[in-house]
Chain A
Amino acid sequence: MINGYAGRILEIDLTTERVEWKPLDEDIARLYIGGKGYGTRLLYDRTEAGIDPLGPDNLLIFATGPLNGSVAPQSNRFAVVCKSPLTGGIGNATCGGSFALGLKKAGVDVVVVRGRAKRPLRLEIDGDASEVNFVDATDLWGKGTYETQAILGKKRYHAVIGPAGENQVLYAGIVSNERIAGRTGVGAVMGSKQLKAVSVWGSRKLDMEDPDKFKAYTKEVRRIFKDHPVLGESMKRFGTGGIVNTTNARNILPTRNFKYGHFDGAMKISGEWIEDHELKGVKTSCIHCPVTCGRDVEVDGKVVKGPEYETLALLGSNLEIGDIKKVSEWNYLADDLGMDTISLGATLGFAMELVETGAIQNADGALRFGDPAGISEMIRDIAHRRGLGNELANGTRRMSEKFGGAAFAPHVKGLELSAYDPRGSFAQGVEYATTNRGGCHVQGASMYLESTGPLTINPQNLKLKADLPIVQQNLACAINSMVLCIFTTYGIVPKAIHAMNPNSWQHKALSLALENSGPVFRWAQSIKGSPMLWFEKWLTYITGQKFSSGHLQEIGGRIFNLERMYNLREGLTGADDTLPDRILYEPTFEHMKSGHPLDQLLPLYYKKRGWDAQGIPTARTLERLKVLH
């Protein structure tokens, strides 16, 4: 077995309560690393086209990668892969917490769950004994994610759902500690299988090719991280919420259901404000991560996890709510009920606009922009699918099919948009439109090099806007397969760039050089040289295989194209690579005549991807990347 892997896959059929331990397929591991990549390949190979995402034939795959189980910073995340009930295409999400570590300790790389239990169940996986217990979970059904984990105890590692997952809210997530695999409805799939929780434990250690080099280098990386302006400073001090004032100043902070990009009350929902006024006790992190991007706040006298950027924006500015206490309360509620705050906030904003237009009339005075009244109750109603909440539980696309408003329904492929308005971040718009799981930012995060980071290009012309998403999407696919936290990529921009005066001519020259680098930019990333970045070195030291930027671009491109093939198989087409009409046609900047120029950028993107004019990967591209080998 390749070092870094436990070498085992655990297959569980909930219908028959049968279990099988199988060896990990080393060829797939070499081609797709693990995590999201390995999981996607399993889903592609082992499910029929057109299955019901909420039916017993869907697979729910928990997948780790070779970095999991190590002490490398940011390395304890697992991926969940399934067919998405929200989009009908590829579903996946990654999650921090501690469950990934538990799986590796139990000597399991991947858990594949199929079927549907006859009653609420939970799974206990004892890795050392290679035993799986199917335990009745009727007593836990209906309980929140925090209480469920408290009952299950601290000695084991858990992944659980809350009432939102049980009731198959289409954007329900899966929770480990206070972190969530939020996107694409993976929690609804778990709920559809009547699976409340998976608990895992064991005492295995990770086998590494060169543990000494790994140890020494990891020590050095910790020092580099500590000294880095983002990973050691701003994320540590302000969490991800430290970006609120920046996106607001750049006019890309979703406001009033993505109608505007600027919110006057932004400062009071920012990470800096939380640091100064709301922070209680510790800053929290996933296991072994020194970045500690989580922060605790107080809600109803309890110290709980505070909101991060996406939540601050989607449940804050997007609803025109500038009250951090309210946003914190809703964030806690959503986490406890087990649902994605991005889709939740975007759906609430959309519903508010539908109320405003008169398309929804039974909101009982709730769902008004700028008014927190009734929102907590609505969030509970969504999780329990009660009344109007039952409609909101289906997300914006299905709501727009029922109530109208498709032009301002903020989703791509059914997945609600994240909190970076593409009208001020064109590459991010291309990324939203083409990302296989839908309108999400952490499948590339182009906006950092385009609009928010220390060295950005002009985000509103066509230069680099088709290249950047490709490189970023490929890298994110690789990172989500190791499985590492995507925030690690913030470390790639060196300290010296952060130290530059952003108004200097040197800064401008560098920005112009990047903006005009086009093909050179992609070529530079594709060089298969020696490992340079920390995750390339970690992978190399752990597995004994050679990883460099070029290797990761190739593997990431393979994973991305496989996801694409999965989507095409499930009936999605190039027509789904689009943005909401509001984003395409309503300008938010005074110099713009329209919105995002996707019509000009998409053909370029397809061509650079090696896809035909309909967005289908050519046979040559599939062969070059060994996509279905």
Chain B
Amino acid sequence: MATAAPSGARVQVQLTYDMSKALGVERFELDGVTTVADVVRLAQQRFEGGAGSFEELTSRAAVAVNGVLTSHRRGMRTALRDGDTVSFVKAAAGG
């Protein structure tokens, strides 16, 4: 996460269950992204024409890079590196 690859990174994107249901895919790969904002924007494009509203789904989901919430890093400006996993994550209670 510390430094971005100059030409953008290749990352895995892991969706929440609801997102994955709407898109019909659990995770996908994105190439050429430098920040989390890029991932959110490109993920949104994937949703166009798909079921459900991306805004609605993301308004309840935080974003984590390799398990660390971006709110504890640089938010949407958090830089990405090759091999990172960017996950959308919803709050939940378990037992």
Contact = CB atoms under 8 A, between A and B. Distances in A.
19 contacts: A234-B92, A240-B93, A242-B92, A243-B93, A246-B90, A246-B91, A249-B64, A250-B64, A251-B66, A310-B94, A310-B95, A452-B91, A454-B91, A460-B72, A486-B95, A501-B60, A503-B70, A507-B71, A591-B1
Interface residues of B, number: 34
Contacts of B88: 249
A267 B20 contact: yes
Interface string B1-21: 100000000000010111011
B61 to A, nearest CB: 7
B2 to A, nearest CB: 8
A443 to B, nearest CB: 13
A456 B64 CA distance: 13
Contacts of A453: 91-93
Given A272-B17, A503-B71, A503-B76, 6 more contacts: A246-B92, A246-B94, A250-B64, A250-B69, A310-B94, A503-B62
Nearest to A491: B93
B94 A242 contact: yes
B82 to A, nearest CB: 12
Contact of A442 (B16, B93, B95): B95
A309 B94 contact: yes
Nearest to A419: B94
A42 B21 CA distance: 53
B12 to A, nearest CB: 10
A624 to B, nearest CB: 33
B75 interface: yes
A56 interface: no
A458 B59 CA distance: 20
Contact of A262 (B18, B20, B67, B95): B67
Contacts of A310: 94-95
Is the contact region of chain A dominated by helix, strand, or loop, or is it mixed? helix
Assign chain A's interface to a size class: 35 or more
A456 B90 CA distance: 12
Nearest to A590: B66
Given A270-B17, A589-B66, A249 B87 contact: yes
B63 interface: yes
Nearest to A231: B93
A503 B75 contact: yes
A452 B92 contact: yes
B89 interface: yes
A230 B93 contact: yes
Interface of B: 1, 14, 16-18, 20-21, 26, 58-64, 66-72, 75-76, 85, 87-95
A232 to B, nearest CB: 12
B71 A252 contact: no
Contact of B93 (A272, A458, A487, A588): A487
B93 A424 contact: no
Contacts of B93: 230, 234-235, 240, 242-243, 448, 452-453, 487, 490
Q: Which of B59, B60, B75, B95 has the most CB of A within 10 A?
A: B95
Nearest to A497: B91
A293 interface: yes
A508 B7 CA distance: 30
A348 to B, nearest CB: 20
Interface in A265-281: 267, 270, 272-273, 276
Contacts of B70: 503
A452 B76 contact: no
B49 to A, nearest CB: 22
B69 A591 contact: no
A249 B91 contact: no
A308 interface: yes
Interface in A120-179: none
Contacts of B91: 246, 452-454, 456, 498, 502
A276 B18 CA distance: 11
B44 to A, nearest CB: 13
Contacts of B64: 249-251
Nearest to A458: B72
Interface string A481-511: 0000011001000000010011100011001
A400 B50 CA distance: 52
A550 interface: no
Contact of A245 (B63, B72, B92): B92
A247 interface: yes
A322 to B, nearest CB: 12
A261 interface: yes
A124 to B, nearest CB: 32
A591 B62 contact: no
Contacts of B69: 250, 456, 458
Nearest to A489: B93
B67 A261 contact: yes
Closest 5 CB pairs of A and B: A251-B67, A243-B94, A240-B95, A249-B89, A249-B87
B5 to A, nearest CB: 15
Interface in A413-471: 419, 424, 442, 448, 452-454, 456, 458, 460
Nearest to B61: A502
